[in-house]
Amino acid sequence: MSLKVLMGYVSVAVLAAIPAHAEWVSRVTDGIMGTRITVELWSEDRPKAEAAIDALLDEMRHIDESMSTYKPTSEVSLVNAKAADGPLHISKELFDLLVKAKEYSVITDGAFDITYASVGYLYNFPKHVRPDEAQIAKALPAVDYRHVILDAKSQTVQFSQKGVRIDLGGIAKGYSVDCGIEVLKARGFTRAYVSAGGDSRIIGDRFGKPWMVGIRDPRKGEGEVIASIPLVDAAISTSGDYERFFDEGGVRYHHIIDPHTGHSASKVRSATVIGPYATRTDGLSKTAFVLGPEKAMEIYNRIDDIDAIIVKLDGTVIYSKGMQRGKATPPPPK
Ligand code: ADP
Ligand code: MG
């Protein structure tokens, strides 16, 4: 082999070791779970990155198909139609998520409750439809997470009475973000941001710098933030009363329902929860609306792996213990 050819091999080998074009690849997709999906990841091979994002979106579409109550053929719709008649065998995926939902009901003193839907289905926010007191009173006894009986051995769900409905709208976006992150991890990606509406999760950092995630000012436009939070390997969910609502007679009716009263839960303007998984932060971000800022903060402070930021009705902002000055987590920038 001539020296020239040998040199040629050497230079090819060196070139192959350096990624041809390493870059941040991002994509924004509308229309899955009725929300906007954003993915951003660091990639050394663009076609692989695009294929991973395709797979992530497929996974999210699958979750939407099986968990949406808007789709009459979804597994959750089937549960709502049949589970009051007796134990119904369900997929492992849905069973495991129902177990988690129950856990969140217990730790939030019943503020998070997927059976809110037993009353919740009577609301239609885009159409400004809400139930009257008589309708609420009739439907309310069916709202109680204890009505959902789960049997791990037979992997079945049963409702203890007629009229019970479940809706995973308060947890499914966070869950889909976690599943999306798993798709990326399985393909070897180590730096990524995935969000579905108000639920986001991050893996890795931005080469020595954290990701900055803005918390929207509940009374201003989408770009206006009350704080930017530096995050690495964390999930963050914000629930706001500005998401799906209508105002009538000076009252704001919006999409989080108090399971104890059946009314729209309006005790804060927004609540943000930071934690390890988006399923968890999504499930827990509704608590403040139902229980109010003080009681909710007490609960958030009790849970080891989460932090929280609440915008109260008067516009003041309160932070969980872990985010206050002098504590392990750095304070949010002013
Ligand atoms: P988004 O849907 O934009 O992610 P949230 O995370 O704040 O907003 O979740 C609101 C959704 O949670 C509602 O649209 C509804 O599907 C569901 N939900 C409403 N009230 C409750 C409740 N008390 N417990 C559990 N889920 C709820
Ligand atoms: Mg959410």
From the number of C-beta atoms within 10 Å of its C-beta (0-12, 13-18, 19+), residue 121 rates as middle
In 3D space, the residue among 304, 306, 265 whose CA is nearest the CA of residue 287 turns out to be 265
Phi/psi at 329 (5° precision): -80, 135
Question: Does 18 score more than 60 pLDDT?
Answer: no
Handedness of CA 275, 281, 284, 289 (dihedral sign): positive
Which one of 97, 166, 255, 291 would you pick to mutate in the ligand 1 pocket, going by the greatest count of ligand atoms within 8 A of its CB?
Answer: 255
Tokens 């997927």 sit at which residue?
114
Dump pLDDT digits (tens) for 44-73: 999 999 999 999 999 999 999 999 999 999
Cα(11)–Cα(31) distance, integer angstroms: 47
Given a contact cutoff of 8 angstroms between Cβ atoms, the answer to whether 308 and 320 are in contact is yes
Segment 174-190 mean pLDDT: 98
Question: Does 329 score more than 80 pLDDT?
Answer: no
Centre of ligand 1 to C-alpha 12, Å, is: 54
The CATH superfamily label for domain 75-159 reads ApbE-like superfamily (1.10.3980.10)
8 falls in which pLDDT band (50, 70, 90)? Answer: very low
Question: Does 317 score more than 70 pLDDT?
Answer: yes
- Token pair in block for residue 233: 């390997």
Q: What percent of the chain has pLDDT over 90?
A: 82
Annotation: CATH topology of 205-248+258-327: T-fold (3.10.520)
Dump pLDDT digits (tens) for 121-147: 999 988 999 999 999 999 999 999 999
Cβ–ligand 1 contact at 112 (below 6 Å): yes
Centre of ligand 2 to C-alpha 282, Å, is: 5
Return the residue whose CA atom lies nearest to atom 11 of ligand 1: 170
Centre of ligand 2 to C-alpha 50, Å, is: 26
Cβ–ligand 1 contact at 243 (below 6 Å): yes
Residue 322 is predicted with a pLDDT of 92
159 falls in which pLDDT band (50, 70, 90)? Answer: very high
Cβ–ligand 1 contact at 285 (below 6 Å): yes
Cα(44)–Cα(185) distance, integer angstroms: 15
Residue 20 is predicted with a pLDDT of 65
Residue 17 is predicted with a pLDDT of 53
Cβ–ligand 1 contact at 268 (below 6 Å): no
Question: Does 333 score more than 90 pLDDT?
Answer: no
Other Cβ atoms less than 10 A from the Cβ of 87: the count is: 15
Cβ–ligand 1 contact at 101 (below 6 Å): no
Question: Does 185 score more than 70 pLDDT?
Answer: yes
* Closest ligand to the CA of 70: 1
Locate the domains of the chain by residue range. Answer: 75-159, 205-248+258-327
Residue 13 is predicted with a pLDDT of 45
DSSP-assigned beta bridge partners for residue 24: 42
Dump pLDDT digits (tens) for 259-269: 999 999 999 99
Cβ–ligand 1 contact at 275 (below 6 Å): no
- Token pair in block for residue 153: 């051995």
DSSP for 225-248 reads: EEEEEEESSEEEEEEETTSSEEEE
Q: Residue length, the chain?
A: 334
Cβ–ligand 1 contact at 234 (below 6 Å): no
Centre of ligand 1 to C-alpha 16, Å, is: 49
Centre of ligand 1 to C-alpha 170, Å, is: 4
Centre of ligand 1 to C-alpha 287, Å, is: 10
Cα(334)–Cα(320) distance, integer angstroms: 16
Rank 14-28, 197-211, 319-333 by mean pLDDT and report only the highest.
197-211
pTM, 2 dp: 0.91
Dump pLDDT digits (tens) for 273-294: 999 999 999 999 999 999 999 9
